Amino acid sequence: MGPKAKVKGKAKGKAKKGKPKVKSKSKSSKGGGDCKAFPMEKGPTPSTLEPSEISRLYKIPKGKLKTEEDVVESNNYKLEDKLGEGGFAIVYFARNKKSNEKHACKVMKLGAEWSSSRVEDMKNELFIMEKVKHLYIVKLMHHFLTQSKENGIRLYIFMELADGGDFAKFCQKKGALTEDECKKYFAQIICGINHMHSLGIAHRDIKLQNVLLVKNEKSISGDFTLLVSDFGLSRIMHHDSAGGIQMNRTICGTPIFMAPEILLRKPYSGFLVDVWALGITLYIMMTLQLPFNFRNKDQAIKDMVAKKWEWPTSKMKASPSNDLKNYLSGMLDPDPTKRLDMSGISNHKWETQQFKKAQVMANKKG
């Protein structure tokens, strides 16, 4: 299902003056309501806040709190088995001692200095997680910071436990999905992303590995509720001086899910690169393979721009319907001004019925 590596950096060179703003255009039917992306109005941003304004800070040792374990216990949690480990984070099972509920706890190593880039990323991630409360987005339960000579600065994030694992592993085990199955799962993902966009937030790292599963027989798919997760690369979108959406220039995300404008180092709309990544996600759900061959990155980019991809029907449960073909072509349009936006995705006739069901479920929980 492709490499999981993320990349992050700045595009080389300066944007040309007078470059037209990218505006979202929908090929869908009229309507959409809350399915539009709204840049956030001026207000506090993560970069303007001190870490202690984002999360409670414990400097240890201090008083009865001698160790990080003491801090965890004082917050009514107990860390249990390790769930996974990455470059700068370890995820544990965590039990709430008051409710006896199991959560997931991500312990992030932020370095020794408050000026580190990881601290800035932490502030951004927590700021966004506090805002995006929704049925189809992983729920933030609790968080705090610790600082010690031994371990430097660490962030503890307690989140909803995804007892079904991640969506990539689920698809690998289950095999290529049918169109009906895809509609039900994909509707939950786009409902979560739509909520983020409605708050002026772009995810910028959508992929199957960043969708988690919680067992729920009452979900629209009848087995799991899907949760969008991992907001480390997410960004708040703002208006530019002309009133349009401020463009991003940071090269970030997972390469096989990146839109061509990112790979070509052009300024881009965070909202519209999310749509491209959703298109790649849907293609993988249907085929268990990628539409573009990244063994040769330059050729992959040429194929994207030329719309040179096809449906591997021998790998699918059935040939794609015309509605599905039209739907995915709209998401994988290399021209962001012609690409479907969230309103177009949500209201397209291939998906709108299941999307509305997902929204009803979310509104009930809201």
Task: Name beta bridge partners: 159.
Answer: 104, 140
Considering the candidates 121, 205, 230, 333, report the single residue annotated as catalytic: 205
Active site residue 121: no
CA pair distance 151, 10, nearest whole angstrom? 30
Closest CA to 43 of 195, 199, 194: 199
| CA distances in angstroms from 42 to 45, 236, 238, listed in the order given | 9, 11, 8
At a CB cut-off of 8 Å and minimum separation 6, what does 234 contact? 124, 125, 128, 196, 201, 202, 203, 204, 205
From residue 176, give the alpha-carbon distance in Å to each of 215, 283, 284, 285, 286. 20, 10, 8, 6, 5
> CA 230, 187, 272, 47 torsion: positive or negative?
negative
Active site members: 205
